[in-house]
Structure 1
Amino acid sequence: MRARTERGTVLPSPVVILSIVAVAMAAFAFVATQGSEPTEREITPAARESVEDTTSPAAETKPPKPKPTKKPAPAIKRGQVYVEVYNNSSITGLAGRAAQRVTGAGWQVVGEDNWYGTVPATTVYYPPKLERAAELLALDLGIDRTLEATGAMKLDRLTLILTGELD
């Protein structure tokens, strides 16, 4: 018999190589997106369902589909939601005027002050459990921008940061 004297390396299977590449790409994406701004959301009125034409022959032959019964979300009680109002502009007294308007709309303002930092547009920030309340406050005040709370913002209230007068 012949002795085996050849030495070599065993190459890993393609699955192992692809796994290593995928983990490396995920790590790179994680590092590259650190500190990026949160995704912006635009608030738009809910679309109305279109009403079918009941005079068409197709409408007469097909029975109407029953609508799934969904338990409606509980109503938002404005007076039970805390709101902090901050001025991120050079307009004196802006937070105070906006706080009066927020209170007039039925919300519970628990503080007003100046905001130190950069916010590109007037924004209502919310913790995840108060997202619907943030959308309602934005609608009440004519604000187009809502984002999830970040940094030192409190997670039991809405944070309104103003960059200019409300319309």
Structure 2
Amino acid sequence: MAFFPSATGRRSRDERGVAFPSPLVMLSVLAVAMASITFLATRDQAPTERRVDNTATIASAEQSPEPTPTATRTPKPKPAIKRGEVYVEVYNNSGIKGLAATTATKATTIGWSVVGEDNWYGVVPTTTVYFPPRLQAAGKQLALDLGIARTAPAVGEMRKDRLTVILTTDAPQ
């Protein structure tokens, strides 16, 4: 049988294509119509699900909120502190002879760049690592390395390009 019309202009029987049964066509049209109506009826409604942030209701600092699937954030890595690139000055305000030298040696052994040690004249309430604003993270790391509990922003005549450690009688030895 030929797929093109014959010389008489009549098509052969196998060229008609596929004939769908009318119930199948009607069900398909009905399904598309129902889907369209449902879409139009619900498109302007507010979503029924809401995200509840319960981190503010934590009673204790020891408890931590369980991570939710929508709140999976990866923390940004903190820049590594390069101890050898940060200058440190150590001052003794305790009256204990050699305390600044001992602490300076300990800091140097850990990798800090100690550039000076001397006596401090003034009143400091407790052993403290003082830091300029741009070296805050380094100041906290130095305090951790030396076992010093207190850090504070640099004050007065302290240099703004280095950390300043002032040791009192409560300094770790």
TM-score (norm 2): 0.59
Partner residue of 1:117? 122
CA distance in 1, matches of 2:158, 2:110: 23
Question: Is 2:87 aligned against 1:87?
Answer: no
What secondary structure, in the 3-state scheme, does the structure 2 residue paired with 1:101 have?
Answer: helix
Secondary structure, aligned partner of 2:79: coil
Give distance in 1, aligned partners of 2:163 and 2:87.
6
In 2, Cα distance between the equivalents of 1:102 and 1:48? 32
Determine which structure has more spread, i.e. the larger CA radius of gyration. Answer: 2
1:150 paired with 2:155, answer yes
User: Is residue 78 from structure 1 mapped to residue 83 from structure 2 by the alignment?
Assistant: yes
Structure 1: runs of 5 or more not aligned: 1-46, 53-58
1:166 maps to 172
CA–CA separation in structure 1 for the residues paired with 2:140 and 2:72:
26
Give the superposition deviation at 1:51.
7.2
User: Which residue is equivalent to 2:72?
Assistant: 67
1:31-46 superposed matches below 5 A: none
Cα deviation code 1:143-165 (max 9, x no counterpart): 11111001110000000000034
Q: How many residues align?
A: 112
User: Secondary structure of 2:94's partner?
Assistant: coil
Task: After TM superposition, give the deviation of residue 73 of structure 1 in Å.
Answer: 2.5
Structure 2: which 5+ runs fail to align? 1-60
Distance, in Å, in 1 between the alignment partners of 2:93 and 2:63 is 39
Identity of aligned residues (%): 61
AA in 1 matched with 2:101: G
CA shift for structure 1 position 105: 1.4
- The match for 2:111 is 106
